[in-house]
């Protein structure tokens, strides 16, 4: 059995019991989550256009801002991306002198990642633009519903974390 395949929980559902093939896309949580992600990425890129940073790159930069130096594998777990994607993101940040990579003291295969001074400064300069993108993503909800929406998203991620291709390190 391929360990990357999701494990099914519970009994199989018939079309009558769950979302059927005829159900509108807007009744499907997966479709709505994917669409909201597309919208958020568009808002992020609009708000942060002057910086030339993607949401995943910004996630890597903020993790390193908080955690300091991390090896590339740990960094991938913190952000919830696979190791190949992490290598590409780190390489792109390194090419812009936003991040530096060094070999580990005891194992040259281990790559330690640290934000450069330029990376720290850019992360700080981006903060207001990133906050605007996040606010715009949820602005369709009344302010009193935003906290509950985020709490629900967090619960869904936590309860399904083992199902993802890459397991996110949760605190």
- Which residues, other chains included, contact 97 with Cβ-Cβ below 8 Å and sequence gap of 6+? 116, 118, 119
pTM of the model: 0.81
Phi, psi torsion values for 7, nearest 5 degrees: -90, 130
Residue 113's CATH number: 1.10.10.10
Question: Is residue 79 a contact partner of residue 100, using CB atoms and an 8 Å limit?
Answer: no
Chain centroid, CA 80 distance in Å: 6
146, part of any domain: yes
pLDDT, tens digit (0-9, with 9 covering 90-100), for 102-153: 887 777 778 899 999 999 999 999 999 999 999 999 999 999 999 999 999 9
Q: Determine which helix (DSSP H) or strand (DSSP E) holds 144, and give its type and residue range.
A: helix 143-160
How many structural domains compose the chain? 1
130, part of any domain: yes
**N- to C-terminal Cα separation, the chain:** 30
Structural domain harbouring 136: 28-158
């Amino acid at each position: 059995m391929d360990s990357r395949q999701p494990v099914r929980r519970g009994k199989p559902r018939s079309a009558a019991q769950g979302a059927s093939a005829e159900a509108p896309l807007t009744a499907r949580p997966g479709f709505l989550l994917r669409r909201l992600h597309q919208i958020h990425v568009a808002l992020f890129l609009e708000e942060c256009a002057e910086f030339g940073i993607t949401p995943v790159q910004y996630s890597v930069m903020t993790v390193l801002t908080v955690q300091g130096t991390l090896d590339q594998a740990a960094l991938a777990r913190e952000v919830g991306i696979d190791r190949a994607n992490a290598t590409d993101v780190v390489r792109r940040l390194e090419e812009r002198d936003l991040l530096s990579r060094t070999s580990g003291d005891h194992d040259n295969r281990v790559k330690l990642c640290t934000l450069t001074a330029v990376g720290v400064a850019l992360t700080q300069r981006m903060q207001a633009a990133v906050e605007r993108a996040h606010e715009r993503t949820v602005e369709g909800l009344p302010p009193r519903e935003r906290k509950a929406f985020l709490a629900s998203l967090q619960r869904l991620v936590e309860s399904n974390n083992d199902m993802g291709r890459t397991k996110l390190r949760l605190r």
